[in-house]
Structures are given as structure tokens and as C-alpha cells.
Structure 1
């Protein structure tokens, strides 16, 4: 089968690799759609921290936002899974340690992460092996594009839930990228008064085009009481800003990651009695996200700027964008196609 393989910093190619076999407890999925995200770009550039800590190494096959159809099952897996449309969790814990048995498999010290950690192959390929326990069934109303957005939106849903907004509360989201916009959409679906803070005019204009007219820059941000602040940015200074801006006794949620240390003064948290919550992964948020999508309460498809083939992925990871693509922040890949699709 064809798969996108990163062979070193700034180097990648589409290779013919052996197709996966369904091992005991696993299925093989025919990948219909996969998303490209900032983590993938960091692996391509060589900046991703896992490459420097030994948790990932080249060559590697990326892709952890995906949807597809189960094509084969391994020993111990019900054959009724064959033909089901699915997506799945990225985080695959060992299943034995105290974290896994305590419901925290996504922070298992020995976990695999699909397309990210400890050599587990990713979804930028025609087929993907996945443990059956990680699967999330997709209803007919959730198409392949929505299915491949479940994983990033699961992160956003967890962030919104962690914000613990009061009814009709005012939320400030830092960073109008994919996760920030998904969090904004989900919070708005729950009745929140959503505001976004960003830097680039194009990103803020896009946010306004999908209904978020309360968009600000650092210079225009109004002095309002923020019932919660979600930092979905990669700015090293914004975690501290989130703590400064949030109302006393409320919550800040950190779901974005900077490429350098981003300190927060604990005195701010203590003296304001602020709760700070970190969110890692969509684990625990997948089912709720599928329900939101299936009910039509959240439709993130406008975030997809284009859908391309595997041969285009290297250019995407290098930051290239075709003039014909839309303004959204997300690029999807259809692994079975060659060249630019749409």
C-alpha cells in the first residue's frame, strides 16, 4: 500500500509499504480521510519534542486524525466490525498500569500514540491498524470529513467542559486555529458568549465568516470579565495572559502548546483563586463529539480548506497553500487518491 513517510527533518516521500495485518484484538481500517495538524508539521520540521526525547524517531508515518471503514479483524474481534465506519482514539495505553486501570490510559507512561509516539504507524496511508478498544463508531450522518475532525474536536470538547462555564458565561479563546475554532463552536452550541483573540487579520476574518464576530487583537481586546479562558494557541506568552485575564475564582484551560517554555506565575493563580486545567488528547471526548456532529449542533466542515492526495502532503507540511484553497485552517488528505483532490 501507499503511505506517507517522513525520513528526516524536511524530508518525506510516498512509499509502497507492506499492508498491515490485523493482529489479535485489532482491526485494519481502510482510511477514507485524514487530517494534517500542527504536530505533524513539527515532526516534519524536526522541532517536535518527542524526536529529542526518544519517544519518536525517523522514519515515521504520521496521521492521527482520521476516519474510515473496517476492512479486516484480528483474532478475538467480532467480525461484525467489518464494514463499520469508524474513527478512533490516538492514545493507546498498556492496559495494565495503575493509570490505565484508573481510567487515565491517555497518560500511560508506556502508551503508543497513533502516528506520533513509540513507532505506531499513522493514518496518512491507505490502511491503518487500530486496537478495537480504541474505535468509535460513526453514524451515517457523520461523513468522512466530519469523522476525521472528531479527534481534534474531542480535544476542544474536553477543553470546553474543563472551562466549567456558568450558563450563558463569557468565554475568551486565545488562538483562532483549528482547536480554538472548534472550542468556540462547541462552546457556542452550549450557549456561551464566545470571543476570540488572535493576531493575523486573515484568521480573525475567517472566524467572523463562520459566525464569530467578537474577534479581537491584543490592542482591541475589551476590558470584560471573562468567565473562562481557553488557551488554544502556540504563543509562549499567552498562558500567563490567560491567567491574568480570567475572572477570580474561574478557570483557565491549556490545550495549546508552545515550542518553548511558557511560564505561568503561580502567584496569579493563588491570589485569584484560579483553577488551571491542562488537556492532553481527545480521550474521553470522542463519543460526545460524535453526538454533537450527528445532531447537527456543531458543523466544523467550513474549517477544511482543501482535501489533497498523499503526494501533496509534503508541500502542506512545508507550509505551502494553493491559491484555490479555502481560508480554513485545516487540510485533509484522501490517501486513496493521487494529486490534488479539491
Structure 2
């Protein structure tokens, strides 16, 4: 089959690889759609911290936002799974440690991450093998929405943690916009701040107040969905006393945060690593049309165009949204 393989910083492209075989407790999925994420860009450039920490190494196969149809099952998996349209959890815990037993498999010390960590091949390929325990059924969701469930799970968790009457979201990228959509569906008044005029304009097109400068407070909660190392401190300054800060963006270097400000304002700070606990709620929100993530997708490309996208090129004819999807069958 064809898959997108990264062999080193800036070195990547489609390659012929063996088709996956479902192991014990696994299924094989025919991939319909996969999303390109900022994490994928960091692997392409060589900046991803997992490379330095030894959690990942080249060559690797990216893709952790995906949907598809189960086409094969391994030993111990009921054949009734064949033909079901699914997406899957990125985080694959060991299932035995203290964290996994407590329901926190997404922070398991020895976890694999699909397309990211521990050598688990990703979904920028025609086929993908994953544990059946990681699957979530999509029902009638179309491929575009199905491949947005994983980032939607992250955003759903961030929105739940930031619940408030008036919320500020820093960073109108995919996660920031999805978080804003979930917050609005829950009844919050949401404002967005972006670094570029085009991102602000796109957020306004979704019906949000948005600007390149911070609007007047108060903010019951502030969500940092940026990669700006100055944003965490700014969020602490802007949030109301007794409010909530949600950190879901990651900067390329360490951020400085004066915890005296957090303590003296009696602020609750929440970090969100994974969409794992939010995946079912994201599917329900999409299926019930409380949240429609599809306007965020600017274009869908084939495997041959992925390297250019990771290098920063917008596909010809792309819309204004921040997300690029891949159909690996093209």
C-alpha cells in the first residue's frame, strides 16, 4: 500500500510499504480521511520534542486525526466490527499501570501514540492497524467531520474546563476555533484574539467577535490555544479573579508564568494534553449538529501533496480555514 513516510527533517514523501496485519485485539481500517496537524509539522521540521526525548525516531508515519472503515480483524476481535465506520483514540496506554487502571490511559508512561510515539504507524496511509479498544463508532458522520473528532475531543475538554459566561480564546487555529464552537454551543459569549488578519477574519466569518488586540474584560475564563511562549502569562493577567485558565497550546520553548498571580487571583489552571476523554462527546456534538467543524477544512489533498503542506504551502484553490485534510486513496 501507499503511505506517507518521514525519513528525516524536511525529507518525506509517499512510499510503498507492507499492508498492516491486525494483531491480537486489533483491527485494520481502510482510511477515508486524515488531518494534518501542527504536531505533524514539528516532526517534518525535526523540532518535535519526542525526537529529542527518544519517544519517536525516523523513519515514521504520521497521521493521528482520522476516520475510516474496518476491513479486517485480528484474533480476539468479533467479526461484526467489519464494515463499521470508526475513528480512534490517538493515545494507547498499556492498560495495566496505575494511570490506565484509573482511566487515565492517555497519560500512561509507556503509551504509544498513533502516528506520533512509540513506533505506532499513523493514518497518512491507505490502511491503518489499531487496537479495537481504541475505536469509536461514527454512525452517519461524513469523512470530513469524522477526521475532526480527535481535535474535537481536545477542544471539547478545553471548553468544558473553561465554561463561563464570557470567555476569551487566544489563537484562532483549529483547536482554538473548535474550542470556541463548543463554548458557544454551551451558551458562552466567546471572543477570539489572533495574530494575523486572515485568521481573525475567518473567525468573524464563523460569527465570533475577533480581533488582533485583546477586547475589554471581564473574562471568566481564558483559553491559550497558541504556540506563543508569552501567552500563558497573558492569560493569567487577563482572567478574572476566581476564574479559570485552560492551557491547550504548546510553545516551542518554555513559558514563564508568575504563579503568585495565579495564587493571589485564586485562579484554577487546567492543562489539556489529549482528546481521549472527550471523543464520545465530540461525536455526539457533531452528530446532533450542536457543533459543525467542517467549515474549518480548507482543502483535501492526496498523499503526493502532503510534504508541500507540511512545508507551509497552501494547496491551490484552498479556502480560508486552518485545517488541511488528506484522502490517502488519491
TM-score interval for Structure 1 and Structure 2 normalised by the shorter chain = over 0.9
Matched, 1:285 2:278: yes
Q: Following the alignment from structure 1 to structure 2, what is the Cα–Cα distance between the partners of residues 144 and 129?
A: 18
Q: Following the alignment from structure 1 to structure 2, what is the Cα–Cα distance between the partners of residues 68 and 315?
A: 24
Deviations 1:146-169 (A, max 9, x none): 00000001000000111132xxx0
1:297 to 290, 293, 296: 290
Q: Following the alignment from structure 2 to structure 1, what is the Cα–Cα distance between the partners of residues 99 and 232?
A: 27
The root-mean-square deviation of aligned C-alpha atoms, in Å, is 0.7
Aligned to 2:150: 151
Deviation for aligned residue 1:250: 1.0
Aligned to 1:160: 159
Deviation for aligned residue 1:223: 2.4
1:177 to 170, 173, 180: 173
Q: Following the alignment from structure 1 to structure 2, what is the Cα–Cα distance between the partners of residues 135 and 202?
A: 36
Aligned to 1:100: 100
Pairing 1:186-225 to 2, within 5 Å after superposition: 186-212=182-208, 214-218=209-213, 221-225=214-218
Q: Following the alignment from structure 2 to structure 1, what is the Cα–Cα distance between the partners of residues 225 and 262?
A: 19
Instruction: State the SS of the aligned residue for 2:20.
Output: coil
Instruction: State the SS of the aligned residue for 2:100.
Output: helix
Q: Following the alignment from structure 2 to structure 1, what is the Cα–Cα distance between the partners of residues 93 and 80?
A: 25
Aligned to 2:8: 8
Listed as ranges, the gaps of 5+ residues in structure 2 are none
Q: Following the alignment from structure 1 to structure 2, what is the Cα–Cα distance between the partners of residues 223 and 209?
A: 21
Deviation for aligned residue 1:222: 2.6
Q: Following the alignment from structure 2 to structure 1, what is the Cα–Cα distance between the partners of residues 315 and 149?
A: 25
- Contact 2:163/2:188 (8 A) holds in 1: no
Aligned to 1:29: 29
In structure 2, relative to structure 1, the CA distance for the partners of 1:164 and 1:209 (3 Å cut) is closer
Q: Following the alignment from structure 2 to structure 1, what is the Cα–Cα distance between the partners of residues 83 and 248?
A: 34
Aligned to 1:340: none
Instruction: State the SS of the aligned residue for 2:51.
Output: helix
Count residues with an aligned counterpart: 330
Instruction: State the SS of the aligned residue for 1:226.
Output: coil
Deviation for aligned residue 1:49: 0.4
Detail structure 1 runs of 4+ shifted over 3 Å in the superposition.
none
Q: Following the alignment from structure 2 to structure 1, what is the Cα–Cα distance between the partners of residues 160 and 292?
A: 18
Deviations 1:92-146 (A, max 9, x none): 0000100000111000000000000011000000000010000000011x10110
Deviation for aligned residue 1:323: 4.3
Pairing 1:31-110 to 2, within 5 Å after superposition: 31-110=31-110
TM score, norm. by length of structure 2: 0.99
Instruction: State the SS of the aligned residue for 2:240.
Output: strand
Listed as ranges, the gaps of 5+ residues in structure 1 are 338-342
Instruction: State the SS of the aligned residue for 1:204.
Output: helix
Deviations 1:211-259 (A, max 9, x none): 11x11223xx232110100100000000110011000001000000000
1:252 to 224, 233, 245: 245
Q: Following the alignment from structure 2 to structure 1, what is the Cα–Cα distance between the partners of residues 48 and 54?
A: 11
Instruction: State the SS of the aligned residue for 1:297.
Output: coil
Q: Following the alignment from structure 1 to structure 2, what is the Cα–Cα distance between the partners of residues 193 and 135?
A: 33
Matched, 1:226 2:219: yes
Deviation for aligned residue 1:300: 1.1
